Structures are given as structure tokens and as C-alpha cells.
């Protein structure tokens, strides 16, 4: 089984709708893309306030996506269309129980012209509070080798 590995520029946008109040966050990172069989993997480091690093490991398969974060923050959030998944989100200020209901997942594999795209529409409840709607859009494109 062949493995493809490329250096990529990752743009991650998350929109949260909290009872009509919108919050948008966009970040750009340089990371790695791997393709092995029918699975795509993206990895990148996220620096928080120049003092802490979070390692991100995103696994994309036909019917599910997993986002694992380790470092100052740790969690493994799983997405399966039309299913509820649960995890524990640990950060410096405490631990939260996270319940995720995934509405839809769309994925376009990396190609040299258009890059790759992942879009996930989901709802999250933290510690049993009111759910908030989320839209995650991740675009990744091969970095120019110079």
C-alpha cells in the first residue's frame, strides 16, 4: 500500500452559533498531509500565546473524522454523520464533558489544482448546557517547495 506525504498549508475556520450570537475563528498553519489507502491524515502544531503548543492530528475516512489534540489542551473529538459521540475536553482551567451530534461531513481529497476540503456541520453540548451549532471548514493545499 503506497503512502503519500506532502507539506501543506492548512486554513481552519470554525463558526459557532450560540442562540443567534455568531463567533468566527480562522487560523492558518503549516503541517503535513498523509494518504494511506482510503485514509487521509493532517497533522500540525498550534501555538497558544507563545507559551504553549497543541499538537493536532486529524484523521479523515469515508464515514468518520477524528480530531485528536494533545498538549496544553487534550481531547479526541469524533464525528460520524447522524450520530452522537462523546469525549472529555481537558484544558488548564478544568475538564468538560463534550457531546457532539454530527449533521453532515463532506470531504474532497487533496488534488494539485484545488487542494483538499473538509466540512463538518455539528452541534455540541458542554457539560449538559444548551447545544451550540458549529460549522468547521478546513482547506489544505500543498505548499510550494522552494
Instruction: Parse the chain into domains and list their residue ranges.
Output: 3-142
pTM: 0.91
The pLDDT score that the predictor gives to residue 145 is 55
> 47 Cβ partners below 8 Å, 6+ apart?
53, 54
Compare 83 and 62 and report the one with higher pLDDT: 83
* CA 8 to the chain's CA centroid: 15
Is the pLDDT confidence value at 3 over 80?
no
Question: What is the per-residue pLDDT across 91-142, written as a single tens digit (0 to 9) for each?
Answer: 888 999 999 999 999 999 998 888 999 999 999 999 989 999 999 999 999 9
Write phi, then psi, for 129 (nearest 5 degrees): -75, 180
Query: In this structure, which CATH number among 2.40.128.20, 3.10.129.10, 1.20.120.550, 1.10.10.10 belongs to the domain 3-142?
Result: 2.40.128.20
CA dihedral 10, 47, 22, 109 (to 10 degrees): 20
The pLDDT score that the predictor gives to residue 10 is 97
The pLDDT score that the predictor gives to residue 146 is 44
Q: Are the CB atoms for 77 and 58 separated by under 8 Å? A: no
The pLDDT score that the predictor gives to residue 108 is 94
Amino acid at each position: 500500500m503506497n503512502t503519500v506525504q506532502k507539506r501543506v498549508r492548512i486554513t481552519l475556520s470554525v463558526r459557532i452559533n450560540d442562540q443567534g450570537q455568531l463567533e468566527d475563528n480562522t487560523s492558518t498553519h503549516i503541517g503535513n498531509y498523509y494518504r494511506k489507502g482510503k485514509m487521509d491524515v493532517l497533522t500540525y502544531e498550534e501555538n497558544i500565546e507563545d507559551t504553549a503548543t497543541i499538537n493536532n492530528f486529524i484523521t479523515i475516512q469515508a464515514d468518520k473524522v477524528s480530531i485528536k489534540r494533545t498538549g496544553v489542551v487534550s481531547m479526541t473529538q469524533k464525528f460520524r454523520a447522524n450520530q452522537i459521540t462523546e469525549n472529555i475536553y481537558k484544558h488548564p482551567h478544568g475538564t468538560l464533558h463534550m457531546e457532539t451530534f454530527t449533521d453532515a461531513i463532506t470531504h474532497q481529497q487533496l488534488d494539485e489544482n484545488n487542494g483538499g476540503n473538509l466540512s463538518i456541520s455539528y452541534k455540541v453540548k458542554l457539560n449538559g448546557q444548551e447545544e451550540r451549532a458549529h460549522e468547521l471548514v478546513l482547506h489544505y493545499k500543498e505548499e510550494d517547495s522552494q
